[in-house]
């Protein structure tokens, strides 16, 4: 019995301790500009919204339930929600039946106020410098113009409100001289009620009293951010464009107390407002890629570190990960730290240490590296850290890359 307990303890220590895994360097190309931007100081990135957005745009999210189950969604307040949807046209209308990615810079944020029925939206007003997302916004505003709806509630509550003029920008435009600040994508989601206090302190502001510029994960009122979710028109008002609900959300904290360390915040959340039965499902099963770039002056040095911190999350459904197309060389959270050796046939392996904030044996989380590139002339190692999960309600994390 004593020998059995000793062996069990030894296995636990090994699991929670240090392990190794290898990944081949797949290409030897010059480093693309967007990856090179990761080597700039945090202040240089913050000073240029376009560069910030190009970095954010490197991330690619996906979800198993990426196809919307219905063209329209509506409020579910007894029979009233169905009635105003069926006879008044008050609803959310999908612009695309597949969930969309948008990247831009925030120029406004807030909450929907006191919880009304089940609605408590955490809102962001997104404006896009990158043309591919600005052109997506054009499509949304063209669809709004075609519907030609006025916001009756705004006219009732605000006497100065003059209605929507569909004969001028943003609905009529010269694309060579379009004012990007007229093309707002309103991003909304109601987090589950029981997680809002933890999200407020560990992830992003959800409660009164803490604004983005004072939140430890932002430190800036106008960050660049990425969102993935249902692209729709909110016809409960004047059919303005929204990402509602957003389900993947990610950004870089450029006020992490260092000059160059790159800190990413990533969240996967299910809408908790009981309004989107066909657009947002449990469990949330998907994956996301996070870019990295290290300036390598000494290949043998072991100061390159990626730290993964689990923030706010609910229970995982590990068996659902088989629905994702994951590579064979994934690793989980069974170890406190992991030495990754990027094998380079031209000059020996390049080590990077991956450390976890805490060990979670058997959790529904998997990680792996992909598209690893060694720029021999620039001495830059770059690629993607990928994360996959299947979780009920939410999973949020902080990823810090240091040693550049």
Confidence at 116, pLDDT banded by 50, 70, 90: low
**Spatial separation of the C-alpha atoms in residues 190 and 120, rounded to whole Å:** 5
Residue-wise pLDDT tens digits, 18-37: 588 999 999 999 999 999 99
Average pLDDT over residues 59-86: 83
For the chain, give the percent of residues with pLDDT over 90.
Answer: 79
Q: How many CA atoms lie within 13 A of 191 on its CB side?
A: 27
Among the residue ranges 7-16, 185-194, 330-339, 348-357, the one predicted with the least confidence is 7-16
Token reading at 309: 């911190």
**Spatial separation of the C-alpha atoms in residues 173 and 145, rounded to whole Å:** 12
- Please say if the pLDDT value at position 101 is more than 70: yes
Exposed (0-12), middle (13-18) or buried (19+): which is 155, by Cβ within 10 Å?
A: middle
| Residues whose CB falls within 8 Å of the CB of residue 161, separated by 6 or more in sequence, listed in order | 151, 154, 155
Average pLDDT over residues 371-400: 97
Average pLDDT over residues 324-345: 92
Confidence at 172, pLDDT banded by 50, 70, 90: very high
**Spatial separation of the C-alpha atoms in residues 252 and 225, rounded to whole Å:** 8
Residue-wise pLDDT tens digits, 204-214: 999 998 899 99
pLDDT of amino acid 14: 39
Residue-wise pLDDT tens digits, 225-265: 999 999 999 999 899 999 999 999 999 999 999 999 999 99
Parallel, antiparallel, or unpaired: how do β-strands 240-253 and 92-94 relate? unpaired
Residue-wise pLDDT tens digits, 261-284: 999 999 999 999 989 999 999 999
pTM above 0.85, yes or no: yes
8 A C-beta contact, residue 306 and residue 352: yes
- Please say if the pLDDT value at position 397 is more than 50: yes
Closest CA to 100 of 62, 74, 157: 62
Average pLDDT over residues 166-185: 95
pLDDT of amino acid 229: 98
- Please say if the pLDDT value at position 89 is more than 80: no
Average pLDDT over residues 52-63: 98
Question: Residue 131, SS3?
Answer: helix
- Please say if the pLDDT value at position 92 is more than 50: yes
Arithmetic mean of pLDDT over the chain = 90
- Please say if the pLDDT value at position 404 is more than 90: no
8 A C-beta contact, residue 123 and residue 279: no
Confidence at 1, pLDDT banded by 50, 70, 90: very low
Q: Phi and psi for 90 in degrees, rounded to 5? A: -85, 105
Average pLDDT over residues 193-202: 97
- Please say if the pLDDT value at position 13 is more than 60: no
**Spatial separation of the C-alpha atoms in residues 287 and 62, rounded to whole Å:** 6
């Amino acid at each position: 019995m004593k020998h059995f307990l000793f062996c069990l303890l030894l296995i636990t220590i090994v699991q929670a301790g240090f392990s190794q895994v290898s990944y081949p360097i797949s290409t030897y190309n010059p480093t693309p500009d967007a990856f090179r931007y990761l080597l700039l100081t945090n202040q240089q990135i913050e000073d240029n919204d376009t560069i910030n957005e190009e970095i954010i745009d490197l991330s690619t999210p996906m979800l198993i339930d990426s196809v919307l189950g219905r063209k329209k969604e509506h409020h579910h307040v007894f029979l009233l929600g169905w009635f105003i949807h069926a006879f008044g046209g008050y609803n959310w209308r999908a612009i695309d039946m597949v969930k969309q990615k948008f990247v831009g810079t925030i120029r406004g944020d807030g909450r929907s106020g006191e919880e009304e029925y089940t609605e408590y939206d955490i809102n962001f007003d997104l404006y896009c410098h990158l043309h591919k997302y600005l052109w997506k916004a054009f499509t949304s505003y063209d669809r709004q113009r075609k519907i030609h709806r006025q916001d009756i509630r705004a006219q009732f509550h605000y006497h100065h409100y003059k209605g929507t003029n569909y004969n001028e920008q943003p609905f009529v435009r010269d694309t060579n001289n379009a004012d990007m600040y007229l093309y707002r994508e309103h991003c909304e989601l109601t987090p589950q009620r029981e997680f809002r206090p933890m999200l407020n302190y560990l992830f992003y502001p959800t409660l009164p009293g803490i604004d983005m510029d004072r939140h430890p994960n932002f430190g800036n009122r106008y960050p660049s951010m990425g969102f993935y979710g249902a692209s729709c028109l909110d016809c409960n008002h004047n059919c303005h464009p929204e990402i509602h609900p957003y389900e993947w959300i990610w950004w870089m904290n450029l006020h992490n107390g260092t000059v160059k360390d790159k800190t990413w915040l990533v969240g996967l959340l299910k809408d908790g407002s009981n309004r989107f039965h066909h657009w947002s499902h449990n469990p949330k099963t998907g994956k996301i890629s996070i870019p990295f770039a290290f300036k390598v002056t000494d290949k043998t040095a072991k100061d390159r570190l990626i730290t993964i911190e689990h923030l706010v999350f609910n229970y995982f459904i590990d068996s659902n990960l088989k629905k994702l197309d994951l590579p064979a060389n994934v690793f989980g959270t069974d170890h406190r730290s992991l030495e990754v050796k990027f094998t380079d046939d031209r000059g020996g392996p390049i080590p990077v240490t991956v450390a976890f904030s805490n060990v979670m044996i058997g959790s529904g989380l998997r990680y792996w590296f992909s598209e690893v590139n060694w720029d021999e002339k620039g001495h830059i190692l770059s690629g993607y850290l990928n994360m996959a999960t299947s979780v009920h309600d939410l999973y949020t994390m902080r990823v810090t890359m240091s040693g550049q």
